[in-house]
Chain A
Amino acid sequence: MQNTINDKTWEIGGKTLSSRLLIGSALYPSPANMEDAIKQSQAQIVTVALRRQSAGENAGGNFWNIIKDLNIHVLPNTAGCHSAKEAITTAHMAREVFDTNWIKLEVIGDQYNLQPDPFETLKAAEILIKEGFEVFPYTTDDLVVAKRLADVGCKIIMPWGSMIGSGKGLSNPDNLLAIRKQFPELQLIVDAGIGKPSHATQAMELGYDGILLNSAIALALDPVQMAEAFRYAIEAGRLGYEAGVMQERQFASPSTPTIGTPFWHQFD
């Protein structure tokens, strides 16, 4: 990897990676722009989806050829599913098409804010894990839901930062931190709601293992440059977390030595 400030690797879903950015493939101005942005991000996981395709169309084939040529890991999603049954069927179809047991499990419970349905997500996760899938469940920042997902065997949990596509950042950093503290052994990815690089840095400083995002890069004025910005932001957040952030104080404390302060301040 070139131009990387952090050369440490990590593991997720049985793969060893150097990038902690999981990037989406939707909403870019053009397929070429998508390809350039993904390359610039240096992400090693890209999310994809399945949709109906008519006879004679080959838009899906063209897209898939671009993704295959990137030679990075593919994470199919179950976006648009509203029940465990739909999500499980989609996962089975994705496994055949994309030749991977990875699945980003999304079961939507509310059409307005696209909040995941924890009950259907849990039901689907339990079945898919028994079937040998590596499940990446999209969930809220609810600690108990995370606990239930871990109980059924999820090794990866992906709480939202805020609503999908909102760009609002981390609505409840305290909740995200509670999940991190409770489950140090799980791979935790903030998925959804990230709007700008500093949001990603904040999540990484909480100790999250990675960031999954799409709109923040694809809808930027310059997606390719924003992809680079997120690459550095995520690396910076991780480095900061590993370095150990200082404790907050309730009082001021000068950083310049007080010994040797010039005489005109000695009696302040």
Chain B
Amino acid sequence: MIKVSVNGEIKELKENLNIKEMIEALDYKQKGFAVAVNTCFISIKSYETTIIKDGDTIDILAPVQGG
């Protein structure tokens, strides 16, 4: 198992998960969000080729009200 930070919370995940698998493991069922790993944007087309590593910081952002 590895430990990562997801939106500021520490989560334990299996090793060698890619972003697509991580999203499924975290039970994100809704659509319309974007992902950054260690403050770098990961596009949808790179989800399956980006492997999550121990200690990574992941941000999953969705639309909200803004000024």
Contact = CB atoms under 8 A, between A and B. Distances in A.
A85 B60 CA distance: 17
Contacts of B66: 24-26, 47-49, 76-77, 79
Contact of B61 (A26, A63, A67, A93): A93
A222 interface: no
Interface in B15-62: 26-36, 39-41, 43-44, 59-62
Contacts of A28: 65
Interface in A37-74: 47-61, 63-64, 67
B40 A98 contact: no
A51 B34 contact: no
Interface residues on A, range: 35 or more
B28 to A, nearest CB: 5
A89 B39 contact: yes
A59 B61 CA distance: 12
Contacts of B35: 93
A26 B27 contact: no
A177 interface: no
Interface string A156-196: 00000000110000000000000000000000000000000
Contacts of A90: 61
Contact of B62 (A47, A50, A67, A164): A50
Contact of B33 (A49, A60, A86, A92): A60
A92 B41 contact: yes
Contacts of A152: none
Contacts of A57: 30, 62
Contacts of B65: 24-28, 34, 48-49, 63
B67 A215 contact: yes
A97 interface: yes
B60 A52 contact: yes
Contacts of A214: 67
8 contacts: A28-B65, A49-B64, A55-B28, A58-B30, A63-B64, A96-B34, A96-B41, A97-B32
Given A25-B65, A53-B30, A61-B30, 18 more contacts: A24-B65, A25-B67, A26-B66, A26-B67, A27-B67, A52-B59, A52-B62, A53-B33, A53-B61, A53-B62, A56-B29, A60-B30, A60-B62, A61-B31, A64-B32, A89-B41, A92-B43, A98-B63
